[in-house]
Chains A and B, each alone.
Chain A
Amino acid sequence: MSAQQHDHNHDHDHDHDHESSSHDGHNHDDHSGHNHGAHEDQNGSHGAHHKNVFSTDCGSAAQPVYHEGYDPAGTAIHHISDANVLTIMDWIRIPLPAIIYNTDRGIEFFSTAKFEPGHHDDGHYGYKDYVLYQGNIHRIKCKAFKGADKFEVQGFDIGHGTNAAGKEIEKRYAIVDSKGYLIEQKTIWDGGLLGGGVTSFYDLSPTKNVVTMGIVALLLFLMFRAVAKAYSRRDGQAPSGLQALLEPLVVFIREEVAIPFLKHKHKRFLPLLLTIFFFILGLNLWGQVPFLGSVNVSGSLTVTMVMALIVFIITNINGNKHYWSHLLVAPGTPWYVKLILVPVEILGLFIKPLTLMLRLAGNISAGHIAILSFVGLIFIFGKAGTNFSGSLIGTGLAIPLTLFMMAIELIVAFIQAYVFTILTASYIGAAVEDHDDHH
């Protein structure tokens, strides 16, 4: 394992440590001083960037390459994705525990601190055969790769290839010991729709989305507990403090959302509606603050899928006879209309939660992408940090646009929480309404 360290010397044409204080590969102490600007200046003297050609997936010769310019699309996608490391402003990194179920070796627990994440949340070291790329745990696919408890990862690179269906996909490689190994990401059960698939390991770890959801839930619990105690303590007096903030919202949900749709059964479903509203609102607002981990929880399709699933289950469990008869039997229509109507109604049964899921995730993700693109203007104009006056122009453009976009996002946070809640109330109301209310 120590033999690996010395081979780096001749292969490092373009490496971080221009200072060359010690040639043992990545010089971690200098990472705080590393900036792309200095790198680019030195790069000019090195000549053209080496482009790795990955002839085989398993150990083809490769050199670590570095991000030449600024990739707005890649950065945006990176920032709205989930990660195994909680990063605050690319400076403080809180490693989260990793729980991986590996089809070869079973369940493994370890801390992502073993990867020593650095710039762009790429791990500097690997553990067994896992590496950290862009904040997510990947696994080296090559069976001939001998993993060790701590091996150095020189860098990562992206190649292109075609998958089994013939579509062009990007393949990621980890460069260890000057060889590129194909890495695969965790299993994502989306049927290939969003680039996921079943791979050899399942990532069950608490990622930053999970931790944020826990924090927001705890915060909401403490807030509402304080408000509930205030009600018993200050009975009969006017509300003040946190009470005064939350009471109008709660009353608004009860009066404008629960009662109009659920009528006399609203008490039963009001806790659900309030939870949905405040949880989504809390997640939306938390995601807007950049230095709380820049998480994008409510924009994650998984989170919204679970919420939509909960709404689906509760709607259908509480559906009474009239609901199901309207859905499946469609009384009062001739048979040829029933033939079309019933399949459409059944399809609608599944499409309604699907739209709930996509609407929330799409709105929040789109807002985040817009803000990231505007901030990315600074880097695009400043040519990834090399051009100072360009970056000033970029900043001058970006600041008002970003402020405007963030103001809109604040409104969107409230509106999306409200829309999700009101649609939930509408669906549950349709499921539990009595016969005499309608016709």
Chain B
Amino acid sequence: MTGTLAAVGAGLAVIGAGIGLGMIGGKAMEAIARQPEASGDIRGAMLIMAAFIEGAALIAILLSIFIQ
């Protein structure tokens, strides 16, 4: 049962990450559409923010794998 709960926890964490990353991507697309010449800066900022949010999700996944 512990194993299943860990899997459920990991799945929930990824839902949060998915929503967050989707919002970042969406807003970045909108921003690029509004101002195409800033697309380089926007892309850079988007990648950095994505790294942070993925970090949070991966922390949750790592802990759910390893905490027995």
Q: Is A215's beta carbon under 8 Å from chain B?
A: no
Q: Is the CB of B51 within 8 A of A419?
A: yes
* Chain B residues within 8 Å of A100, by CB: none
Residue of B at shortest CB range from A193?
Answer: B67
Q: Is the CB of A362 within 8 A of B61?
A: yes
Q: What's the tally of chain B residues with a CB closer than 8 Å to chain A? A: 15
| Chain A 187-203 residues near chain B, CB threshold 8 A | 193-195
- How many contacts A-B (CB < 8 Å)? 49
| Chain A 380-419 residues near chain B, CB threshold 8 A | 415-416, 418-419
Residue of B at shortest CB range from A423?
Answer: B52
Q: Given the complex of chains A and B, what is the CA–CA distance between A168 and B2 in angstroms?
A: 10
* Chain A residues within 8 Å of B2, by CB: 167-168
Assess A362 versus B66: contact at CB under 8 Å? Given A415-B47, A419-B48, A422-B48.
Answer: no
Q: Is A361's beta carbon under 8 Å from chain B?
A: yes
Q: Given the complex of chains A and B, what is the CA–CA distance between A86 and B45 in angstroms?
A: 39
Q: What's the tally of chain A residues with a CB closer than 8 Å to chain B? A: 19
Q: Is the CB of A363 within 8 A of B55?
A: yes
Q: Is the CB of A362 within 8 A of B55?
A: yes
* Chain A residues within 8 Å of B56, by CB: 359
Other than the known A193-B67, A194-B68, what 20 A-B pairs have Cβ atoms closer than 8 Å?
A355-B55, A358-B59, A358-B62, A359-B52, A359-B58, A359-B59, A361-B62, A362-B58, A363-B51, A363-B54, A363-B55, A363-B58, A366-B58, A366-B61, A415-B48, A415-B51, A416-B51, A418-B48, A419-B48, A422-B48
Interface of A with B (CB < 8 Å)?
167-169, 193-195, 355, 358-359, 361-363, 365-366, 415-416, 418-419, 422
